Structure 1
Amino acid sequence: MPVEPSEGLQILIPWLNINDAHESWLIDGPDFSQCHRQVTSLSPRLKLPLGDANRRRMIPRIRWPLFLVLVLYQSLHSAQAITLDVHNEQSIKDAASTAAWGMMSHYHGNESGQIPGKLPDTWWEGGAMFMTLIQYWHFTGDTTYNDEVTVGMQWQAGEGNYFPSNWSTYLGNDDQMFWGLAAMTAAELQLPDVKDGYSWLSLAQGVFNTQIKRWDTKTCGGGLRWQIWAYEAGYGMKNSISNGGLFQLAARLARYTENATYAEWAEQIWDWSASVPLLSNSSWNVADSTDVDNGCSTQGNNQWTYNYGSYISGAAYMHNYTNGTTSKWTDAVTGLLNVTLDTFFPAKYGGDVMSEVTCEPKQVCNNNEILFKGLLSMWLAFTALLVPATYDGIMPKLQGSAVAAAKSCTGNSNNTCGVRWYPNKWDGWSGLEEQMSVTSILAANLIAMKTDGAPVTASTGGNSTSDPSAGGSDSDADGETIPMAVTTGDRVGAAFLTLALVAVPLGMVGFLILT
C-alpha cells in the first residue's frame, strides 16, 4: 500500500508527453515504488490543471536515472527566484517590476467589458492595489501602470468620496478609508491631478468628511464602527483599522494642508483609541477590535501588521507636522515601532523577516490578511523618512524581508510569490495579494537610494487642488465651506449620528423583502 501523501516524501514531476502537458505525477512513499496521478492543491486558492483528476493508475517503478533527470527538469523550471541585491538600485527596481507585473496579471479592469478599479470579489483591495502602484511608481519611476491607476481611481470615486452607489450598501468604514488613503498618497507623491476629474486631495478630503459624520459618541464615547449599516455583521464592533486609518488620514491631511482642524481630529481619534482597549499608550499593544455591546471594555486582541502600521504611520505624520516638538508623538512612534519590530519580525526566523504571526504559522491567512504585510512595509518606509531617527531600526528589517520575499517568488515557472517569506522558497500559495505584498516590500527598499522620497505638502511641491467641502461639510456664517471642527460637544459625547445613513438603506432593504 502506498504511503499516504502526508506521511511520505512527495515530489511533483511533469509527465514528459507533449500530448498530456498539464499532467503531473505524485510519487508516494520513501521507496518511490508507487505512483499515481491526482489533483494537487497547492493552497486552498490555487489548483493546477492536471488533466483527468478522477482517473488513477499504477505504473512501474521509476528507475533512478530517469527519476533524477525528471527531478532536475523540475528544479530548472520552477526554482528561479527573483534576483535581488538590496544594495543595488537597479536590481531592486527590476525585482519590484517583476512582482508588480505578476500583481497586475490578476487585474482585468483595463479590459473591454470590465469595470475599471474593481477586483473580483473585493472592492477595498482595489484601493490598496492602486496605493501600492502609486508608491511603486514614486520610487522606481516606472509609469507603466499610471493610466490604470488614474482611470480606476476616478471610476470608483462615487460623488467624490469613494462611496460609489454600486457598492455602498455593503461597504465598511475601513473599505472606504483605504481608497481615501490611496488618494492621499497620490496627492503626497505628486501623481498629476486629472483634468475634468476629482483632484486626489479632494477625494481624500471627501472620505474624511463623510467618515467624521459617522463618529459615534452615542456608544463608547466616540469612535467609528467597523461597519456603516446596522444590517452588516460587525456593526457592533469598533476596530483599529477603521479608527487607526481615519487617524492616519487626518494626520496626513493636517500635514499636507496645514489646516489645524484636521490635526484636532487626529488628536481626538488617537485619544479615543487610547481610552478604550484598542490602543495602549503604556504597553503599546494594538488590539484588533472592541465590542460596543460591552461598552468597549473588552478587546479582540489578534495581532495584525496593518493595525500597528496605521497608528505608527499616523503618529509619524503628526510628529513631522509638529516638527518633532511634541513628546506625545515621539513616544508613540518609538513605542509602537518597538512592539511592531519585536512582534512581526520573529527571532525564530532570524529577526529581520516580516511575518503575519496570527495566521502564517498555521497557513490559514485569508486574502485580506495576505496583503497586510505590504501595507506595513510602505508605512514603515515612510515612517523612516518622516522620522529620521527611526531609519536605522527600520531599514535592516525592510532589507531582510525583501531578500526573503524575493526568494519566495519561485512558483509556476514565472516568479509567482508565496505568502510566507521566512522559508526562503515558494510555499505553494498564489494570488494578487501575495504579489502586492512583495511589490511593496521590494519598492520600500528604495528609500535607501531615494532619500528625498518623503511625501510632499502643499507648501513643499504638492499641487493637488483642495476642496474642503468634498463629500459633505459645514458652512460658516460667510458661506465659506470648511471641515467640521472638533467641538466641545464632540469631546464629551454630545454629537449625534446621521440617522439617514442607516434609515434610508434599511427602508430600501425592507421594501425589497416585502416585494
Structure 2
Amino acid sequence: MRLLAALLFLLTAATARAETPAWQTRAAAAAETLDRIWGKDGGWNASEDWQRFPITQVLIDYQRRTADPRWSARIASAVRNREGRYLNDDDLWAVIASVDAWQVDHDPELLDWAARNFTRLVTDHWDDHCGGGIWWDPKHSYKNAITNELLLTAATRLYRATGQEAYRDWASRIWGWFAASGMIGPDGLINDGLDAQCRNNGAPRYTYNQGVLLGGLSDLTAITGDPQYRTAALRTALAATRTLVTPQGLLTEPSDALGRDGPMFKGVFVYHLGHLVEALPDGPERAELRTWLARNSDAVWALGGDGSEPIDGLWSGGAG
C-alpha cells in the first residue's frame, strides 16, 4: 500500500487536464495499474479499509471526466463495502464517497446511508469541548483536523445532493469552529489537532490535512456564493505547494514515519487540489497551481514506467 498515493496523484492530475488527450491516456493507464494491483474482488480489499473510499472518489471523477465505464462495477462494490470502519473519520470517508456514488447511479440506499450516518455522528460525537467540533474516536480522546474537515465536506456534499438547509447550516457551523480552533497556523497550513488544553498540538502538517480542507472550503463557496471560503482554500493550497515540497518542488510529507496510511495522504491532497483549481478563475495563482500539478505528475509518470508500474512514496526517486 505504500505505492497507492502516487497512482491516485497521477489519476487526479491527469483528469484535471482531461481536455488534453495525452493526459487522458495517462489517467487510463494509471487506472489500469491501480485495478491490476489493488482492485480485488469484494471492493478493494487489497487496500486499507478507509482507503477504499478515496479510491472510489478518484475513479468516479475519472469516469465522469472521460466517460470510460470500465470501473463502474469496482466503484459500486467498493462504496458498499463498509467493513473495517472503527473511527469517526473512517465513517466520514464512507459518507462522502456514498454521496459521490449516489450522484452517479442514484441508488437511494447510498444517500440514505450517508444521511443517517451524518446525523448519528453529529448527534453522538459533536459537543462543546474545545468550543465545538467532532471527536476523532468514539471514546472522545482527541479532536483533530481531518475528522472535522471531513465533516465539513460531508455537510457540503449532502447539501448539494439534497438541498436541505440543515446541511448548509452545519457546514457554516463546522467552518466557524474550525477557523477559530487554532489548528490553522499564520501561514495557512493546518496542524494535526488539538491537545488536552484545546490548543494547537504542534503535530506535523500532513498533506491530507491541507487537502481535505481545500475541498470543503471550495464547496462552501459553491453552496453559499461567498468567495471568502475559496480564498481561504487558495491560501492553504499555495502554502502547501510552496512549503510541503522537496527542493525540486515535488510534494513530500513532513515525516516518513506514517505507517501504511501515510503515502496515501498525498493522493488525497491532490484530489482536492485538482477540484479547487478547476473552480478557480483564471489568474496567476491558478496558473501556478496548474504548473505545479503538471510538474509533479510528470515526475510520477517518469518514475512509474509511463503508468505501467507503481512507484514508492518519494517522487524524487529512492525509497520512502
| TM-score (norm. length: structure 1) | 0.54
Amino acid of the structure 1 residue aligned with 2:21: Q
For residues 174-189 of structure 1, what are the structure 2 equivalents within 5 Å? 174-187=89-102
For residues 256-335 of structure 1, what are the structure 2 equivalents within 5 Å? 256-280=161-185, 282-291=186-195, 294-323=196-225, 326=226, 328-335=228-235
Asked if 1:101 is matched to 2:14, the reply is: no
Report Cα offsets for 1:207-265 as digits up to 9, x if no partner. Answer: 3222211343242122111112x2xxxx4211111001101111232344333221211
In the alignment, the residues of structure 1 paired with residue 92 and residue 69 of structure 2 have an alpha-carbon distance, to the nearest angstrom, of 25
The residue that corresponds to 2:314 in the other structure is: 420
The residue that corresponds to 1:358 in the other structure is: 254
Give the Å deviation of 1:268. Answer: 1.3
Amino acid of the structure 2 residue aligned with 1:139: R
Give the SS at the match of 1:105. helix
In the alignment, the residues of structure 1 paired with residue 22 and residue 135 of structure 2 have an alpha-carbon distance, to the nearest angstrom, of 43
The residue that corresponds to 1:89 in the other structure is: 20
In the alignment, the residues of structure 1 paired with residue 66 and residue 244 of structure 2 have an alpha-carbon distance, to the nearest angstrom, of 26
Q: Give structure 2 stretches of 5+ with no counterpart.
A: 4-13
Report Cα offsets for 1:449-507 as digits up to 9, x if no partner. Answer: xxxxxxxxxxxxxxxxxxxxxxxxxxxxxxxxxxxxxxxxxxxxxxxxxxxxxxxxxxx
Structure with the larger strand share: 1
The verdict on how the C-alpha distance between 1:154 and 1:377 changes in structure 2, with shifts beyond 3 A counting, is same
The residue that corresponds to 1:248 in the other structure is: 153
The residue that corresponds to 1:202 in the other structure is: 112
Identity of aligned residues (%): 21
Asked if 1:239 is matched to 2:144, the reply is: yes
Q: 1:339 aligns with which of 231, 239, 255?
A: 239
Give the Å deviation of 1:287. Answer: 0.9
The residue that corresponds to 2:295 in the other structure is: 400
The residue that corresponds to 1:387 in the other structure is: 280
The verdict on how the C-alpha distance between 1:316 and 1:218 changes in structure 2, with shifts beyond 3 A counting, is closer
Give the Å deviation of 1:402. Answer: 0.9
In the alignment, the residues of structure 1 paired with residue 2 and residue 143 of structure 2 have an alpha-carbon distance, to the nearest angstrom, of 30
User: Which of structures 1 and 2 has the larger relative contact order (alpha carbons within 8 angstroms, sep 6+)?
Assistant: 2
Amino acid of the structure 2 residue aligned with 1:343: T
Report Cα offsets for 1:124-168 as digits up to 9, x if no partner. Answer: 111122112112212232211111211232243xxxxxxx5xx45
The verdict on how the C-alpha distance between 1:267 and 1:407 changes in structure 2, with shifts beyond 3 A counting, is same
Give the Å deviation of 1:393. Answer: 3.3
In the alignment, the residues of structure 2 paired with residue 241 and residue 416 of structure 1 have an alpha-carbon distance, to the nearest angstrom, of 26
In the alignment, the residues of structure 2 paired with residue 133 and residue 338 of structure 1 have an alpha-carbon distance, to the nearest angstrom, of 26
Larger radius of gyration: 1
Provide the alpha-carbon RMSD of the alignment.
2.8
Contact 2:2 2:263 in 1 (8 A): no
Figure out how many residues of one structure are paired with residues of the other and give that number: 306
Structure with the larger helix share: 2
Give the Å deviation of 1:288. Answer: 0.5
After the TM superposition, list the runs of 4 or more consecutive aligned residues in structure 1 that deviate by more than 6 angstroms: none
The residue that corresponds to 1:159 in the other structure is: none
Amino acid of the structure 1 residue aligned with 2:37: H
In the alignment, the residues of structure 2 paired with residue 290 and residue 270 of structure 1 have an alpha-carbon distance, to the nearest angstrom, of 16
Contact 2:18 2:24 in 1 (8 A): no
Give the Å deviation of 1:377. Answer: 1.3
Q: Give structure 1 stretches of 5+ with no counterpart.
A: 1-43, 47-83, 111-115, 157-163, 430-515
The verdict on how the C-alpha distance between 1:258 and 1:328 changes in structure 2, with shifts beyond 3 A counting, is same
The residue that corresponds to 1:488 in the other structure is: none
